[in-house]
Amino acid sequence: MKTLKGPGLFLAQFASDEAPFDSLPSIARWAASLGFVGVQIPSNDRRLFDLEQAAASQAYCDDVVGMLAEHGLAVTELSTHLQGQLVASHPAYDRLFDGFAPAALRGKPQARQAWAVEQLKLAAQASRRLGLTAHATFSGALAWHLFYPWPQRPAGLVDEAFAELARRWRPILDAFDDAGVDVCYELHPGEDLHDGATFERFLDAVDQHPRANILFDPSHMVLQQLDYLQFIDIYHSRIRAFHVKDAEFRPNGRAGVYGGYQDWIDRPGRFRSLGDGQVDFGAIFSKLAQYDYPGWAVLEWECCIKDAQQGATEGAPFIRDHIIKVTGRAFDDFAASGSDTAFNRQLLGLDD
């Protein structure tokens, strides 16, 4: 068994134009002061990271790693959540997702999609130069608007959507394979890969590609009312990244899973800071340790009530206290009697 690495912190929700959140050195100093030992870096935010330079320059990556090490930090993963979203985007969402791309590409969906693919390939090279083995992203969505089967879907429609999703992602997966890095899809409502069933459908479409893996985030499973513990039992061999994020689901007579278009504060399903929701993290950390999860436990702060800095301050010790230092011996070794093959055969009544 392996001991999980952490606590790590996803920086995307904290980056801003105000110090100490406006540069990687200053936000690293702040994160380390709270007790974090790793940071997951959003590759789309040039205030923190230059993806193009990282893909091309080993010296740049070495400087990043060295600077973080001075603060007792490591890079857990790079993230291309926003770029991944643009690998596959239904035209109905073009205006909404235009802000994820450079200004010159807005209103140009084909050029935007080509840019997103190139961003993922750059992330593969940057991850390799940083010595990483996992990468966090979204799958994008061509069929999300069809998630509820009304009106009745024409035969083959969803199959074609996933076939196209696979065509777009296969070259990216191959690039990550060349770099020796796993692509970890955060299974998330709004993405075509949002639960186990859709992940399996995608795996089939990419011929069980070894680099197609999972970023496990139980908060999204609470909001879908999916059994996140059994999910680990089923898919543990593909879980290569972990967002530690809490959530609660409290349905009522007015709204349930779909939320009624309400603001986050009023929805029955809400993201919460660690310890304020319903996720059984004790069981999750136990299962991940049991199944030899090889990666990091990374806080993703999203809460509709609590301030971000309070969430981060509380999050580091919460994760640290849940990480299980796995045992190197069996608890009953003290009672071992010792044996050999002949002795075992005697105990079975097979003595010759």
pLDDT in tens, 260-272: 999 999 999 999 9
Amino acid, single-letter form, for residue 158: V
* Mean pLDDT of the 181-189 span: 98
Give me the pLDDT at residue 352, please: 64
Give me the pLDDT at residue 149, please: 94
**What is the residue-wise DSSP string for 85-107?**
HHHSB-GGGHHHHGGGS-GGGTT
pLDDT tens, position by position, 61-100: 999 999 999 999 999 999 999 999 999 999 999 999 999 9
**CB–CB of 53/46 below 8 Å?**
no
Neighbours of 296 (CB within 10 A): 25
196's tokens? 């186990």
Q: What is the pTM of this model?
A: 0.95
Give me the pLDDT at residue 346, please: 84
Amino acid, single-letter form, for residue 307: D
* Mean pLDDT of the 43-51 span: 97
Q: Is the pLDDT of residue 203 over 90?
A: yes
The two beta strands, 246-249 and 269-272, are antiparallel
* Mean pLDDT of the 6-17 span: 98
Phi-psi bin for 197: left (phi > 0), alpha (psi -120 to 50), beta?
alpha
d(Cα 112, Cα 117) in Å, to the nearest integer? 9
d(Cα 243, Cα 249) in Å, to the nearest integer? 18
Q: Is the pLDDT of residue 131 over 90?
A: yes
Residue 103: band (very low, low, confident or very high) from pLDDT cuts 50, 70, 90:
very high
Q: Which domains does the chain possess?
A: 5-347 (3.20.20.150)
Give me the pLDDT at residue 332, please: 74
Give me the pLDDT at residue 77, please: 99
Q: Is the pLDDT of residue 45 over 90?
A: yes
Amino acid, single-letter form, for residue 214: I
Give me the pLDDT at residue 327, please: 82
Q: Is the pLDDT of residue 113 over 70?
A: yes
pLDDT tens, position by position, 299-352: 999 999 999 999 999 999 999 999 999 887 777 776 677 778 888 888 889 976
